Each structure stands twice: as C-alpha cells, then as structure tokens.
Amino acid sequence: MFDKLKEECGVFGVYSEKLEKSAYITCIGLSGLQHRGEESAGIAVNTEGVISYHKDTGLVSEIFTNEVLESLPEGRMSIGHVRYSTTGCSRKENAQPMVIKHKKGNLAVVHNGNIANAAELRQELEDGGAIFTTTSDTEVICYIIVRERLKAKSSEEAILNTMKVLKGAYSLLIMTPQKLIAVRDPQGFRPLCMGKLGNDIVFSSESCALDICGAEFTRDIEPGEIVVVKDGTAKSLKYENEYPKGLCVFEYVYFARPDSVVDGLSVHKAREDAGRYLAIQSPVDADIVASVPDSGTDAALGYSKQSKIPYDMAFVKSKYIGRTFIQNTQNVRQKLVAIKLNALTNAVKGKKVVLVDDSIVRGNTIKKIIRRLKNAGAKEIHVRIASPKFIGVCYFGTDIDDRESLIANKYTVEEIREQIDADSLEYLSLENLNKIAAQANISGFCTGCFTEKYPIDIPNGIEKNKFEEKITY
C-alpha cells in the first residue's frame, strides 16, 4: 500500500471430475488472490482439448461478470491469473493466461514470479526466428516449453527440460489438451499449494483462495516439484538443481494474505511474531499501539500483546479506493493517501503513539502519514518497522529494480527518522526475521532485499525490454 512494493501475481486452477462450469470455481479462487495483482485477470477453460479463454485489464469482479462467465464453455479443467507486472508493462496483451497453439496441441500457461535470465533466453529465441507478441517473460517460458515438447515424449518431460534452462522464480499452472500441471521452481521462491474440492483437485498461489472456494488444503507443492493431473489422478515428479532453497521471505512480511498458510507457517502468526520481537527488541514508553492499515495490523497486534500497551485504531481507511501502489506514478499515489486514510483525532490526540508498519521502501508516504497523525494532535510518533532495512534489488518478482530509489541506501536510520519526522524509528533485525521464517517447512529463504545475497546467480544488470523503449533519432 502507498509507498509499498508492487506485488507479484496469483494463479489458480481446477481439475474437475465432472463436465461443469469450472470457470466459476476459478473465478472465486481468483477473487481470493486479488491482493496479488490488480492490473489484469484471465481464465482459460479446457473443453475436451479445446482451450477457450477471456482476459482483460481490471479487477476480477469487473472482468468476469455473470454474462462473461456464462459465455465461457463447460470444461473439466480451468486455470486463472491475476497480474501485477514486474516484467513487461501493463497492457492487455500481457494479461494471462497465455494460450499457444502448436503442432502437438493447445497450451495455456499462468505464471507467478520472474525469470532472471529472461532477456538472454528471449534473445536466443529471437535469433532462432521466434516472434513475440508480448513483453512478458511468461511468453519466453511458453516458447521454451513448446520447443521442448516438439522433441519430448510427454508434456512433463518437456517441462523438466524447460526447468533446466530457466533461472529465477516461477510457480506455474500449465494446461494441455489432457493434463493440468502445477510447477514450482527448484528454489521455491513463490508459494504454490494444492487442495481438494470434493473429488476435484485445485491449485492456488495461496491457501486463502482454497478456503474461499470451499476446498480443503492438501499440501504445498515442494520446490522443484511437478504435479501432473490426468483423468482425475495426480502424480508427482521432482527436479533439483545445485542452488539452495529460497522462498521469498517477504511473502510473510507483506505479500501473502494473513489468512494464508505458506509452507506450513501461518502468515498472520509470522507477522504477529514480528511485532512481538519488535516490542522486545525496541521497546518504547507509549499510550497506544497503532498500525498503518492494513499492512501493519498483524505486527501491531503482536507488539501490543508483548508490550502490554493497548492497541487502538489511528486511522479510518476508505473501502472504496483501490490499493494506491497500483497507481503508476508516485505523485498520484501520494495524493490518494489523503483520500484513503483519515486520522482518528479522538484516538491519538495528546498521546504517544507506536506506529507499526511492515516496511519502508522509498519513505515518501510514511512521512505524510506521520504528518496526518501529528496534525490530529498526536504527541509523539514512534515508528516500528516489522522487517529489516530494504536495500536490495529483487530479480524474482518484486518490482524493485533500482537500489538508488530505496531510502535505506541513501540515509542512516537516524537520518531516515529525521526525514520522516518521527520521534523514533526502529527496524526488525534480520536475526529476528530469520527466527520467524525458520518456523516454516522449507529449508531456506531469499532475503536478498535485506542483504543483497541471493540463492542463485543473478544477472549483471536488468535489461529493459527494447520494445518498451522510446525510439531516439
């Protein structure tokens, strides 16, 4: 929200035992993943090998009206996607699913993540005559799968061969004429899980979407795992590489919904624990604990419980303004802050406030929020951030590609405190964040945004797509 990281995408799919409107189930699931992307959404349906789809820019509820859902055919398989662009700009043609027709059949793909070597792979494909219609790295994945499928005996063999050349984050759902296939990259950068809806098999980026559509959580897809569903039966294959595991720790800090469980760890509990550690690590004499809604709420509750300082609302948030970081300029985002948040004068006037949030990225918006609290009469504002300082570029699906835009790379903590006009400022230590993450059922995490140390080799620089650059004469 506001001065926040842009989110990745969300994927959802279902293999239904009966020939029915599987698109309806997928639409419900996508609604539960809307927080992962608000730029575009799409659904593809497999009807006896024929793939039909609808996608557009906007929210799930705006795109998939009853009329649109009725127009989609019945089918046992369906996959869907909500998008926020981290590679490729925000255009309708970049919306997913991506549907490809090739010599051996139809293919539909949805993708959450970012391919670190996408530019290199795209250049190789273009040199071989490939013609791209989008600026998304997902199309690169599609091309490689098709290339490998023309040589392989099965789709899963083609996917295994594709995984050998991809570097980066990819949680995929792939629909072929007869199969629904779920894939999670070998490091497990992004979450992916499966569930059961009666006898139907369901896949989702987060468990909260399973809950919303009435499915029962079965398990997480493991890093490097390929789950193939055919004729209602699932089988599993595994691909490993030499790099360590690397679930994005920011899934627990901000990206995932609080009601999700990611790799065995409750997101709500992780954030509440972050608040508890903050209270132990950075106590302060205050009258109330408050949060920047909704990103800091869970951590603020943990801080309150640990410190015994009562939690109270400091802001009323409008329910009718979209997530402001979706706006394409910082100027617009900042103007929307005033519309979206209004300080509760009665709650903060004359009081010392502990203000908890999940992160500070550029620092522009937190300053405006503090100013609003002080204008409402708050006596002191003590900012507590439920993550370490954000200093690193992300190559795996978070839209931060310039370390110079990060306030923690320009100023010390004391200088940041002065910049945002807080009475004190403290960040959660990396040590405490690692303690929280260690409760998950995965052996490693990517903390590159806090340490600039990454689980895999990274490119020397991020190449902007040539088709998004203006022509200079």
Domain range enclosing 63: 10-243
Query: Any idea which residue has 């009601």 for tokens?
Result: 259
Q: Are residues 197 and 276 in the same domain?
A: no
Q: Are residues 403 and 348 in the same domain?
A: yes
Section 159-187 average pLDDT: 97
pLDDT at 45: 97
The catalytic residue positions are 9
pLDDT at 322: 56
Q: Kindly report the pTM of this predicted structure.
A: 0.91
Which of 13-22, 86-95, 276-285, 313-322 is predicted most confidently? 276-285
For 125-129, 324-328, 403-407, 447-451, which range has the lowest pLDDT when averaged over its residues? 324-328
pLDDT at residue 3 is higher than 80: no
What gap in Å lies between CA 73 and CA 19, rounded to an integer? 10
72-128: per-residue pLDDT in tens? 999 999 999 999 865 445 568 889 999 999 988 899 999 999 999 999 999 999 999
Q: Are residues 233 and 282 in the same domain?
A: no
Number of domains in the chain: 2
pLDDT at residue 441 is higher than 50: yes
pLDDT at residue 401 is higher than 70: no
- Reading the block at residue 87, the tokens are 């590679």
Assign residue 133 the CATH number of its domain.
3.60.20.10
CA distances from 116 to 141, 160, 464 (A): 12, 18, 12
pLDDT at 93: 80
Q: Are residues 80 and 119 in the same domain?
A: yes
17 in a structural domain: yes
For 12-16, 88-92, 185-189, 305-309, which range has the lowest pLDDT when averaged over its residues? 88-92
Burial of 231 (0-12, 13-18, 19+ CB in 10 A): exposed
Q: Are residues 192 and 282 in the same domain?
A: no
Closest CA to 60 of 28, 88, 92: 28
256 in a structural domain: no
346-390: per-residue pLDDT in tens? 999 999 999 999 999 988 889 999 999 999 999 999 999 999 999
460 in a structural domain: no
pLDDT at 20: 75
Q: Are residues 119 and 212 in the same domain?
A: yes
Which residues are registered as beta bridge partners of 445?
247
pLDDT at residue 1 is higher than 50: no
Which residues are registered as beta bridge partners of 174?
109, 181
Closest CA to 379 of 402, 407, 347, 401: 347
pLDDT at 405: 86
pLDDT at residue 32 is higher than 50: yes
3 in a structural domain: no
pLDDT at residue 241 is higher than 50: yes
Question: Of 243, 274, 307, at which residue does a domain stop?
Answer: 243
Q: Are residues 67 and 164 in the same domain?
A: yes
Q: Are residues 198 and 287 in the same domain?
A: no
Q: What percent of the chain has pLDDT over 70?
A: 89
Question: Of 200, 216, 243, at which residue does a domain stop?
Answer: 243
Q: Are residues 209 and 328 in the same domain?
A: no
Query: Average per-residue pLDDT in the chain?
Result: 90
